Amino acid sequence: MDRPNGPTPAVRPVDAEERDRRAAANAGEPTVEFTGQTPYDAYVRASTLHGLQQPVSDDPGEMSFLMVSQIMELYFGLVCHELREAQRLIDRDDVRGALAPLRRAELHLAGLVASWQSLRWMTPADFNKFRDLLGEGSGFQSAMYRHLEFRLGLRNAKLIRPFRQDPAVHAELTAGLAAPSLWDATIALLARRGHDLPAELLDRDPAQEHEPHPAVERAWTRIYADTGPDNDLRLLGEALTEVAEQFGDWRYLHVKAVQRTMGAKVGSGGSAGLTWLQRSMARVVFPELWSARTFM
């Protein structure tokens, strides 16, 4: 998924010399006169962002639900961006280079986790004020969240079926499902670094969800046994662990938010709601990184 970000913002570049001249001319005060759009809005597109909230009810609490949902969508896209860059570098054997986008992804996921705090006020009575007006709308239908799951190695072809009526989105998700995940790329890296991994593991269909394999577990056990400063694979393992842990925290808080607002009711999108989410949580991201710890 490499969708363009739209037209280049109409921001005029300036250098340090021009900034110094402007500060001297303004006697240290900020510039307040611009011709046309402010440079901040041209770059951030804040006016566009703040025009995207269109509540379906008159309940003032709905704005929290809507905006936090939109914030989470932005975070999904940002984490996907970072993981895609990390995977590109891993494919090039630049392990130390991949640590920076993985660290950023972990911090973005921490922000995503914190987003749930903004909805802790919501009781069943609060949610019920506008829930019916959402129709069949559900976070289950987030295409960007599916991209994030696919990038992390969680694969389920059925989950792209809701997008068949949007050919562009469906095509992107189909391509994402068929492409190797970050975990697939990591396993291939381990093989290139000399770890004994079977061909059927390396040549498997990436559209199928990875099944934990003892050979991968043994590889991580050996990697972690080397605590020297030059062991970049161990650093990679820890960076991936942080990403997986933050993602797991987000999923856990999602379950708690559903329990808080609707208990075990049927989900808006037709699923079993809480039960379905709990089953989803059982699918572990980067599984051998966790199981190998038993043998370290």
Output the domain CATH number for residue 201.
1.20.58.480
- How high is the pLDDT of residue 6? 55
- How high is the pLDDT of residue 110? 98
Q: Is residue 56 part of a domain?
A: no
Q: Is residue 53 part of a domain?
A: no
- How high is the pLDDT of residue 18? 86
- How high is the pLDDT of residue 5? 54
Mean pLDDT of the chain: 91
Q: Encoding tokens for residue 18?
A: 């021009």
- How high is the pLDDT of residue 48? 94
pLDDT, mean of each 10-residue run, the chain (296 residues):
56 88 87 85 93 96 96 97 98 98 98 96 94 85 95 93 93 97 98 96 94 97 94 98 96 90 69 70 92 96
Query: How many angstroms separate the first and last alpha carbons of the chain?
Result: 37
- Are the C-beta atoms of 138 and 267 separated by less than 8 Å? yes
- How high is the pLDDT of residue 266? 63
Q: Is residue 55 part of a domain?
A: no
The DSSP secondary-structure symbol of 72 reads H
- How high is the pLDDT of residue 271? 58
Q: Are residues 108 and 30 in the same domain?
A: no
Q: How far is CA 78 from CA 65, 108, 118, 125, 266, in A?
A: 20, 7, 20, 33, 30
Establish whether 120 is an annotated binding residue: no
Q: Are residues 107 and 202 in the same domain?
A: yes
Q: Encoding tokens for residue 35?
A: 């011709």
What's the Rg (C-alpha) of the chain? 23
- Nearest residue to 18 via CA among 48, 39, 1: 39
Rounded CA separation 129/59 (Å): 7
- Nearest residue to 169 via CA among 142, 191, 207: 142
Owning domain of residue 22 = 1-48
Q: Are residues 33 and 77 in the same domain?
A: no
Rounded CA separation 216/195 (Å): 8
Q: Are residues 28 and 69 in the same domain?
A: no
Q: Are residues 9 and 152 in the same domain?
A: no
Rounded CA separation 219/291 (Å): 12
Q: Is residue 151 part of a domain?
A: yes
Q: Are residues 26 and 127 in the same domain?
A: no
Q: Are residues 196 and 103 in the same domain?
A: yes
Q: Using CB atoms within 10 Å of the CB of residue 76, give its burial: 0 to 12 exposed, 13 to 18 middle, 19+ buried.
A: buried
Place of tokens 């075990």: 264
The number of distinct structural domains making up the chain is 2
Q: Are residues 143 and 34 in the same domain?
A: no
Q: Are residues 123 and 30 in the same domain?
A: no
The total of other beta-carbon atoms located within 10 Å of residue 230's CB is 7
Q: Are residues 135 and 207 in the same domain?
A: yes
Q: Are residues 155 and 18 in the same domain?
A: no
- How high is the pLDDT of residue 292? 97
Q: Where are the alpha helices (DSSP H) in 226-272?
A: 232-262
- Regarding pTM above 0.85, the answer is yes
- How high is the pLDDT of residue 275? 75
Establish whether 254 is an annotated binding residue: yes
Q: Are residues 144 and 271 in the same domain?
A: yes
- How high is the pLDDT of residue 65? 95
- Please report how many Cα atoms fall inside a 13 Å half-sphere around the Cα of residue 42, on the Cβ side: 12
